[in-house]
Amino acid sequence: MKSPDAAANKQQKPRKDDSMRRIKKIALIGTVALSIASAGGGIAYASSQHTVIPGDTYWKLSQQYRVGLRTLLEANGANESSILYVGQSVTVPSASTGYIVKSGDTYWKISQKMNIDMNELMNLNGDSAGVVLYKGQQLKLPESVKRYTVKKGDTFWIVSNAFNISINSLMKANDAGVNTVLYPGMALYIPAGAGGQLKVSPPSGQSPVDPPPTGNKPYVTHIIHTVQRGDDFWSLGIKYGIPYREILNANGLKESSIIYVGQKLNIPVHHVPVKPAPGSKFGELLDWWTEAQYVWPIGSDAKITDYYTGISWNARRTIGANHADVEPLTARDTETMKKVWGGSWSWATRPVIIEVKGRKIAASASAMPHDVQYIQNNGFTGHFDVHFFNSTRHVDGTVSQSHQRDVNIAAGK
């Protein structure tokens, strides 16, 4: 039997064969030593050599290495009409200490990309409002904007983590996107506000990329996962107890993206502090979106206890995005659950306590089998719904008043 909201379960498992058709590769070409310095203080590396590949032009190389076009031409005894040949060696002088204007740039756009004050930028360059910038013009940048020279193996995630900034802000500062290729020797702008590499002890011995904040509110840190053979976004979401779309978003990827063995992925880790309950009979009142779905992730088993009768059975959260879609573990669990609803399946809601990972969470359950089923031979043809504080229906994203009423009862409210 179909649920009233079963038309759109947004946490359905993606088709693995669809993902495997698409390939995403990052090419790393050339070798240049790493160098970090403040934009206002110069770059601490010497001239290097670039081997020309198809599509290269002097203009493209000037943008890639953040070197003025005229400086690059002069270093190679060339002019704007000079042609580059594949395999040719081009001398790349030390990077410019400033910003090279692109078509369409304004002081406002540059200040937003670099996270700096527009007036500070204009004053530094002796300009005022209304000044028109032209393509190829070189501007001074404040020392708060750093410069980084890409080394072999670098990705936007590796660099953003090293400077404690988001990948989006790093890409924005460099007019880049998820398909932008990083080359050794390329110069990247590091926007103002960046810090150094952080060192925090994360769970499971993984490498952290940001520190936990203090306080009693839920917070998110990140760890690095090295892709193994057989990994996919869905299985990684199950492994780390988060919706797989969070992994996509954290890495600037899409469902069509393919991950490869050895690739480093940023994995969000949700930390949910324990909340007090008014008594042993009650559960924690946890918000579904920021707390409950991470305490009881997909693939995890829990004991469900009916608030009124005290009858308990075991179940697994098998799917569900707006609320938990749950299945009894065994045929015995199914029969026990059926007794709670008077011997027949029903959409009627009841307050329940979810016990998982040593925690008790206030929830509400209905008992009608419907739609997708993962556990076989348990005598339950489909799954049943479990709601938490602020969870919603799948089909229209609306709140079920009866479920929310029972969640509050289970929380002692």
Q: Are residues 261 and 402 in the same domain?
A: no
Please tell me the total count of domains within the chain.
3
What is the rounded CA–CA span in Å between residue 381 and residue 372? Answer: 8
Q: Are residues 39 and 179 in the same domain?
A: yes
Q: Are residues 182 and 202 in the same domain?
A: no
Is residue 25 a part of any domain in this protein?
no
Q: Are residues 168 and 314 in the same domain?
A: no
Q: Are residues 259 and 134 in the same domain?
A: no
Partners of 37 in the β-ladder: 147
Among candidate residues 215, 246, 271, the one where a domain is terminated: 271
Q: What is the model's pLDDT at position 2?
A: 47
Residues in the chain where the model's pLDDT stays below 50: 2-12, 15-46, 196-215
Beta strand 89-92 pairing with 99-100: unpaired
Q: Are residues 329 and 345 in the same domain?
A: yes
CATH number at residue 257: 3.10.350.10
Q: Could you report the per-residue pLDDT of 230-287, keeping only the tens digit for each?
A: 889 988 988 888 888 899 988 888 888 889 898 989 888 888 888 889 999 999 999 9
Q: What is the model's pLDDT at position 42?
A: 28
Among candidate residues 243, 271, 299, the one where a domain is terminated: 271
Q: What is the model's pLDDT at position 306?
A: 97
Q: Are residues 105 and 180 in the same domain?
A: yes
Q: Are residues 163 and 292 in the same domain?
A: no
Q: Are residues 130 and 166 in the same domain?
A: yes
Q: Are residues 98 and 184 in the same domain?
A: yes
Q: Are residues 137 and 224 in the same domain?
A: no
Is residue 10 a part of any domain in this protein?
no
The parent domain of residue 221 ranges over 198-271
Among candidate residues 149, 165, 190, the one where a domain is terminated: 190
SS (H, E, C) the chain: CCCCCCCCCCCCCCCHHHHCCCCCCCCCCCCCCCEEEEHHHCCCCCCEEEECCCCCCHHHHHHHCCCCHHHHHHHCCCCCCCCCCCCCEEEECCCCCCEECCCCCCHHHHHHHHCCCHHHHHHHCCCCCCCCCCCCCEECCCCCCEEEECCCCCCHHHHHHHCCCCHHHHHHHCCCCCCCCCCCCCEEEECCCCCCCCCCCCHHHCCECCCCCCCCCCEEEEEEEECCCCCCHHHHHHHHCCCHHHHHHHCCCCCCCCCCCCCEEEEEEEECCCCCCCCCCCCECCEHHHHHHHHCCCCCEEEEEECCCCCEEEEEEEECCCCEEEEECCHHHHHHHHHHCCCCCEEEEEEEEEEECCEEEEEEEEECCECCCCCCCCCCCCEEEEECECCCCCCCCCCCHHHHHHHHHHCCC
pTM assigned to the model:
0.51
Q: What is the model's pLDDT at position 161?
A: 76
Residue 342, both tokens: 């008077």
Q: Are residues 138 and 203 in the same domain?
A: no
Is residue 91 a part of any domain in this protein?
yes
